């Protein structure tokens, strides 16, 4: 197993937390600052050396396809109207997307594990990233690069981790771990949304590296009470069988956009950081809300 060149982006869920916004627009295309959250994911994967993106989608395929493909008509219109700045921004987007090949697999909303399994044929016998666009990692080193460094020496599945305050643990997948070195852990158990005492304060973040063996576990996984096959639960099954799965506590800030409140906070943060409008927005907020 050499460099990881493939990534699965599972976006087949219904995004009911975002209704009615998600009724017509896929959650992944909602803005975070002046970029859709999907673009943060694609930028991270490009920085990680990925060449093939496999989207697992439901009815949102067309909107995502429209976003990532070139639009010669639009570019010609901007040239004709001499809207050079807007043309430059559109061209910058497609420069980011250069070097990727995109594939689409259709799935029903039956859990992220079920979605990932649909990409098995396209992944083949290679390791691959699984990335969730509603988690954005802000830091000096992209999240996928960090976990790829772990995989390079271990050749075992790796999941990204982040520490959370005690009062938030019941909403996440939490891991029981054995510490290997600074930030690196061997996972002993995965507890989904612990309602009693959590095994640690380390939560699973939406960045994984999976190996072909993970697909075998997904294939035989039984749906949970919600009728879903969950990737974290399949990894937990591997751990119970004595397989090695590593966890890595990411360096950087974990920003979430999986529900309306988190998305609004994340959107505000990245809007305030915008090099063109951030300072103006900050001044507006001070004037409008400090009285």
At residue 170 the predicted structure's pLDDT band, cuts being 50, 70 and 90, is very high
pTM value is 0.93
Instruction: Read off φ and ψ for residue 29, nearest 5 degrees.
Output: -100, 5
- CA distances for 279 relative to 86, 233, 274, angstroms: 21, 44, 8
- Residue 122 CA to residue 125 CA, distance in Å, equals 9
Domain boundaries, the chain: 6-289
Cis peptide before 109 (omega within 30 of 0): no
Mean pLDDT of 93-108: 93
- What's the pLDDT tens digit per position in 204-257? 999 999 999 999 999 999 998 889 999 999 999 999 999 999 999 999 999 999
Instruction: Read off φ and ψ for residue 47, nearest 5 degrees.
Output: -65, -20
- Residue 84 CA to residue 159 CA, distance in Å, equals 42
Q: Which of 171, 188, 197 has its CA nearest to residue 247? A: 188
The answer to whether the beta carbons of residues 148 and 128 sit under 8 Å apart is: no
At residue 290 the predicted structure's pLDDT band, cuts being 50, 70 and 90, is confident
Percentage of the chain modeled with pLDDT above 90: 86
Instruction: Read off φ and ψ for residue 184, nearest 5 degrees.
Output: -110, 135
| Architecture label for domain 6-289 | Alpha-Beta Complex (3.90)
- What's the pLDDT tens digit per position in 15-60? 889 999 888 889 999 999 999 999 999 999 999 999 999 999 987 6
According to DSSP, the residues that pair with 32 across neighbouring strands are: 35
Answer whether residue 1 shows pLDDT above 80.
Answer: no
DSSP state of 221: P
Answer whether residue 259 shows pLDDT above 60.
Answer: yes
Which range among 69-78, 106-115, 143-152 has the greatest average pLDDT? 143-152
């Amino acid at each position: 197993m050499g460099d990881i060149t493939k990534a699965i982006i599972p976006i087949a869920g219904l995004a009911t937390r975002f209704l009615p916004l998600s009724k017509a627009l896929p959650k992944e295309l909602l803005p975070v600052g002046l970029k859709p959250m999907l673009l943060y994911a694609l930028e991270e994967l490009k920085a990680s050396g990925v060449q093939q993106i496999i989207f697992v989608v439901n009815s949102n395929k067309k909107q995502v396809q429209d976003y990532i493909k070139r639009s010669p008509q639009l570019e010609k219109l901007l040239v004709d109207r001499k809207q050079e700045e807007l043309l430059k921004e559109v061209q910058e987007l497609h420069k980011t997307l250069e070097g990727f090949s995109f594939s689409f697999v259709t799935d029903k909303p039956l859990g992220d594990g079920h979605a990932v399994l649909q990409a098995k044929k396209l992944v083949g016998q290679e390791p691959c990233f699984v990335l969730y666009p509603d988690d954005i990692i802000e830091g000096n080193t992209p999240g996928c690069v960090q976990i790829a460094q772990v995989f390079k020496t271990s050749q075992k599945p790796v999941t990204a981790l982040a520490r959370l305050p005690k009062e938030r643990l019941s909403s996440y997948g939490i891991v029981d771990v054995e510490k290997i070195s600074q930030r690196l852990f061997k996972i002993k158990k995965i507890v989904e949304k612990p309602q009693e005492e959590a095994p640690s304060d380390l939560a699973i973040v939406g960045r994984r590296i999976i190996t072909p063996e993970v697909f075998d576990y997904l294939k035989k996984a039984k749906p949970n009470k919600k009728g879903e096959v969950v990737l974290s639960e399949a990894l937990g099954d591997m751990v119970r069988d004595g397989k090695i799965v590593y966890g890595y506590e990411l360096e950087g800030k974990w920003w979430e956009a999986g529900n309306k409140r988190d998305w609004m906070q994340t959107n505000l943060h990245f809007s305030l950081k915008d090099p063109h409008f951030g300072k103006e927005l900050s001044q507006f907020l001070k004037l409008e809300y400090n009285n």
